[in-house]
């Protein structure tokens, strides 16, 4: 370039020793006719520019041009910035190292779930037990009260025949009852238990029969007959007719009322026995195979209360028979002995 050569003495010496341009040759830095000139949009000094005739400054050798930033107004040359060390990617969590913490969290969650389940189960069981107790202690009493009311009405209708005008010296032979299973045929009165105590005795001791009231043990004697008249009843459910059986004392009257007479038994003793003992229902209690010679009454119920572990047995013996009279009343007042 002409400006550069004029101010460089070395360039003058070199120019003087070099032959001049040949005819038709293109001068350095000149543009051939029709050839494209240098790009006006590329700033000087950027990589890719065609080298000029200006010598390279030795001090710039080895330097890397810095990339233009937002505040750069042009190309700047400077030492290459040291590259920042690359951070390694985050390591995957080691199952072994996080295992104890995770296991503790899972264990705590499992314990909480199990505890909630057990709590809900206990609440449900408590409600079921409460409903069962309500049914056993109150609903069953209502069921038997209705059954007893119907049985009383039926007996009153059956016993509505006129009573004998007077009590003869010797009562006439009694008509032996022949009730169907579950049918009422007699009434039990115990003065010690009050005037309102008068449950109807039904035939049979199956569960369905005992839900109605005290039941006569099939195959044993009937009221007033020679032999053992056995009656069983509930102590804590279905009206609990034998709930106070343990209050009876020796000599207390137990009255069995039938259509035309009263059979008055006297309490002799009570005993608690194993529930599997059957000799207490024999014709002579506790003496199987012996021929009976007297009329006795045996009453049985569960013992203790709310349990069927044992049986409470009350033994009584027939004391007298009293015929019913017109407008008559039971032979004993409440509490009378």
> Where in the sequence numbering do the catalytic residues fall?
234, 302
Query: Which sign does the torsion angle of CA 186, 192, 194, 195 carry?
Result: positive
- The CA angle 239-182-218, to the nearest 5 degrees, is 105
How far is it, in rounded angstroms, from Cα 249 to Cα 335? Answer: 12
How far is it, in rounded angstroms, from Cα 286 to Cα 313? Answer: 11
Question: What are the structure tokens assigned to 62, written together?
Answer: 């080895």
- Of 332, 313, 315, 331, the residue nearest 323 (C-alpha): 331
Question: In sequence order, what are the residues at sequence separation of 6 or more whose Cβ sits closer than 8 angstroms to the Cβ of residue 129?
Answer: none
- Of 299, 220, 311, the residue nearest 265 (C-alpha): 299
Residue 318, beta-bridge partner list: 265
Q: Report cis status (omega within 30 of 0) of the bond before 293.
A: no
How far is it, in rounded angstroms, from Cα 152 to Cα 158? Answer: 10
By the 8 A CB rule, do 337 and 250 touch?
Answer: no
> What's the half-sphere exposure (Cβ side, CA atoms, 13 Å) at 301?
24
Question: What are the structure tokens assigned to 325, written together?
Answer: 């009279």
């Amino acid at each position: 370039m002409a400006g550069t050569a004029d101010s460089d003495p070395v360039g003058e010496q070199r120019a003087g020793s070099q032959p001049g341009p040949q005819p038709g040759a293109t001068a350095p830095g000149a543009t051939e006719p029709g050839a494209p000139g240098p790009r006006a949009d590329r700033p000087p000094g950027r990589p890719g520019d065609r080298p000029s005739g200006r010598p390279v400054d030795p001090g710039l050798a080895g330097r890397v041009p810095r990339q233009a930033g937002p505040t750069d107004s042009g190309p700047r040359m400077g030492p290459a910035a040291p590259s920042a060390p690359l951070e390694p990617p985050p390591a995957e969590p080691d199952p072994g190292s996080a295992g104890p913490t995770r296991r503790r969290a899972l264990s705590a969650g499992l314990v909480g779930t199990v505890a909630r389940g057990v709590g809900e189960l206990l609440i449900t069981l408590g409600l079921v037990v409460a409903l069962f107790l309500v049914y056993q202690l109150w609903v069953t009493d209502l069921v038997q009260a209705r059954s007893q009311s119907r049985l009383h009405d039926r007996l009153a209708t059956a016993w509505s025949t006129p009573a004998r005008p007077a009590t003869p010296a010797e009562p006439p032979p009694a008509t032996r009852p022949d009730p169907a299973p579950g049918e009422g045929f007699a009434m039990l009165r115990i003065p010690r238990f009050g005037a309102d105590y008068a449950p109807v005795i039904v035939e049979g001791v199956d569960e369905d029969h005992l839900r109605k009231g005290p039941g006569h043990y099939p195959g044993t004697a009937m009221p007033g007959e020679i032999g053992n008249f056995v009656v069983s009843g509930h102590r804590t459910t279905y009206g609990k007719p034998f709930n106070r059986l343990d209050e009876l004392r020796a000599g207390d009257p137990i009255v069995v009322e039938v259509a035309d007479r009263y059979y008055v038994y006297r309490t002799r003793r009570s005993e608690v026995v194993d529930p599997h003992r059957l000799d207490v229902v024999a014709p002579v209690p506790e003496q199987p195979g012996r021929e009976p010679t007297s009329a006795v009454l045996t009453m049985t119920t569960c013992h203790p209360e709310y349990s069927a572990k044992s049986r409470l047995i009350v033994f009584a013996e027939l004391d007298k028979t009293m015929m019913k009279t017109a407008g008559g009343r039971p032979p004993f007042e409440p509490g009378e002995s």
